[in-house]
Each structure stands twice: as structure tokens, then as C-alpha cells.
Amino acid sequence: MILKYSCIDMASDYCPCYLAETGDCVICSILRGQNNCDCRWQGICIFQEFLWNGKKKASSRKMIKAEIVDKKIFTDNLFIFTLKLPKDVHTIYFSQAGTYVFVKSQNSPDFYEVPLCVMDFDEENNLLVFAVQLLGPKTKALFKENKNVVLRGPYYNGIFGLKYIKSSFNRNCLLVGRGIGQASLILVAKSLKRGYNKILAVLNPGSLSYNIAKEILFKEGISVKEVNDECYEEIILEDNYDLIYSAGADFQHNFIYDVIKRNNLKAELAISNNAQICCGEGVCGSCAVNLNGEKIRLCKMQLEGKKILEEGLL
């Protein structure tokens, strides 16, 4: 087997995971019950790690009680809140592009958890920032909370095509964020900035009627262009971009991919993960899709943005 994908957690503190115990490991063929090893994974052997750990999973994500230190209401359906993490939990583990957590108000039951991408962080003061669009009972319960929340994480598969973001150096990059999707732009921009990349962020407020990433991007020295209509094709064709990151709804991902394909552009494409995510561990099956007869767990498996869209997996 030649790996067409990777597991976001392999070789991390969370590998082997729950799927190793159930015989459903994303990477290891032996843990899936086959006789031969054909994973082509060149890192630490997942099966050996599983044996060394007493045939049990490694560490689990923590349930973390965090204090709400700031909450700002911007529109009828948008608020942004800042959390203070306890001293034994460090924001650096939540600072990677594509990081998300599950959050609920302190007195809500576990099934009220909402997956939210980390919008920004303050390592010095141990703070995390999140943007929330009010959509239903879970987000409404979170909106009413003013003291403490419980979060579970970190999880890292909030973006497909992460390798292009992490490896970009001195390249020309375009970030397109629409609506609540803009929340994921900040960590992407910070990652690309560390690689001395040229960055243009195009912001469309969408149904929020507010560009949530604008202020932070300005502070980071990122060039920002605000748009109110679908003029992405004109902007994409204005410059020779090496990397495009699309953060928004599936129709935006597909539109940008179509522009790249029709115009034979060489730009790599990364996209926000819009799959329905419930547990984040690949166990519940809410994010599972079929790819050529193989079950793909979109909360765990890291694929290329173009492959996702070509196969219609979102």
C-alpha cells in the first residue's frame, strides 16, 4: 500500500490512539488485522509503540477548565471570547495552524461540546481566542456563559493541505476567508509569516456582516483586501500565487479549485476542514466518507485540498 494520506496524530503524544485498540488504525495494517506490514510509514513503528504501551492507547486529550477573561459581542450572531488556560496547560500546544478544540459551558452536558478552531493565542499570558457564530442550542449555551468553560484538545486536523503551509518559505501566498471561516486565517498567517512569505488576505464578511480577522491581521503586518461579492477569480489571476488557502464554505473551496484548474495555475491549495466532526478521535463515524472503497476519517486523515475536492469528499 502506498499512503495517499497521513494521520494527523501519528508519532505524536496521542499515538497510538483509540483506533489502535479497536483494530481500525489509520496507518498500521497489522493493527487492522492483516498479516503483513505495508504501511510505508518511515517514522516510529505504531505497532511497536502499541506493544510497548501494553496494547493500550497512549495519552488522551485533557478536559481543561478555562476562565473566560473577555467576551465581545460584534453582531446578533457573532461573539469573540478569550480564555485563560490553567498554569499547567501551555498555549504553545494550541498554536499550530489548523488547531481546534471542543468547548462547552461549564455546567452543560458533554454532548454540548462545540468544535471551534483556535483563532489566536497569547503565549506570554497563556490565552486562547475563539470566534463563535450563533447557530443553535450549543452555541447559544456557550454565549450565555460568562465565567468558565471546559475545553477538550488540542486537535490538529482543521486544515487539509497543511504540508504546504508548514513548508512554505519565501513564497507568494493568498488567504481567502469568508464568514466564520476567517477565524482560521490568523494561525495560518502567523505560520506563513515565520517563513518570510508574501501574504495577501482577502476577507469577505459573509453572513456575519463583520470581518473578524481584519484587526489581528493588520497588527501582524499582513496586507488585507476586503470584498463584498464573489470577485475571487479576478484577485487570484492578478498575481502568480504559489499557495492559496481557502477558509470558508465548501462552495468557496470548489470555486477557487475550479479557477485554479480552468486557468492551469500551479498554485498549491489548502482548505479548511468543513467535515461534520463530533468526537475528533475517528471513533464516532460522523466524519467518515468513502474513498474508492476505503473508509476515510476526515477528523484524523490529512489529505491534500485538491484531492478532497476532486473526490467530492466535503
What does the pLDDT read at residue 1?
40
What does the pLDDT read at residue 314?
76
Beta-bridge partners for 15? none
What does the pLDDT read at residue 229?
65
Q: What is the DSSP letter of 180?
A: G
What does the pLDDT read at residue 216?
96
Q: Within this chain, do residues 74 and 102 fall inside the same structural domain, yes or no?
A: yes
Q: Which residues contact 107 (CB under 8 A, 6 or more apart)?
A: none
Q: Within this chain, do residues 268 and 142 fall inside the same structural domain, yes or no?
A: no
Asked if residue 32 has pLDDT above 70, the reply is yes
- The domain in which residue 199 lies consists of 159-310
Q: Which helix (H) or strand (E) holds 127?
A: strand 127-133
Distance of CA 23 to the CA centre of its chain: 26
Q: Within this chain, do residues 71 and 38 fall inside the same structural domain, yes or no?
A: no
Q: Within this chain, do residues 184 and 272 fall inside the same structural domain, yes or no?
A: yes
Model pTM score: 0.94
> If you average pLDDT over every residue of the chain, what do you get?
93
Q: Within this chain, do residues 53 and 181 fall inside the same structural domain, yes or no?
A: no
- The CATH number of residue 125's host domain is 2.40.30.10
Average of per-residue pLDDT across 246-252:
95
Write out pLDDT tens, residues 160-191: 999 999 999 999 999 999 999 999 999 999 99
pLDDT band at residue 153 under the 50/70/90 scheme: very high
How many domains is the chain partitioned into structurally? 3
Q: Within this chain, do residues 93 and 209 fall inside the same structural domain, yes or no?
A: no
Average of per-residue pLDDT across 196-206:
96
Asked if residue 147 has pLDDT above 90, the reply is yes
Please answer whether residues 195 and 221 qualify as being in contact, where contact means their C-beta atoms are separated by less than 8 angstroms. Answer: no
| % of residues, the chain, pLDDT over 90 | 83
Please answer whether residues 104 and 110 qualify as being in contact, where contact means their C-beta atoms are separated by less than 8 angstroms. Answer: yes
Average of per-residue pLDDT across 77-95:
95
- The CATH number of residue 296's host domain is 3.40.50.80
Q: Within this chain, do residues 117 and 231 fall inside the same structural domain, yes or no?
A: no
Q: Within this chain, do residues 164 and 284 fall inside the same structural domain, yes or no?
A: yes
Among 9-13, 190-194, 205-209, the range of highest mean pLDDT: 190-194
What does the pLDDT read at residue 2?
43
**CA 314 to CA 228: how far, in whole Å?**
25
Q: Within this chain, do residues 211 and 271 fall inside the same structural domain, yes or no?
A: yes
pLDDT band at residue 260 under the 50/70/90 scheme: very high
Asked if residue 203 has pLDDT above 80, the reply is yes
Among residues 155, 187, 210, the one where a domain terminates is 155
Q: Within this chain, do residues 207 and 294 fall inside the same structural domain, yes or no?
A: yes
What does the pLDDT read at residue 162?
95
Asked if residue 3 has pLDDT above 60, the reply is no
Please answer whether residues 101 and 94 qualify as being in contact, where contact means their C-beta atoms are separated by less than 8 angstroms. Answer: yes
**CA 68 to CA 253: how far, in whole Å?**
33
Write out pLDDT tens, residues 38-67: 887 778 899 999 999 999 999 899 999 999
Among residues 155, 190, 218, the one where a domain terminates is 155
Q: Within this chain, do residues 92 and 53 fall inside the same structural domain, yes or no?
A: no
Average of per-residue pLDDT across 133-142:
94
Q: Within this chain, do residues 195 and 264 fall inside the same structural domain, yes or no?
A: yes
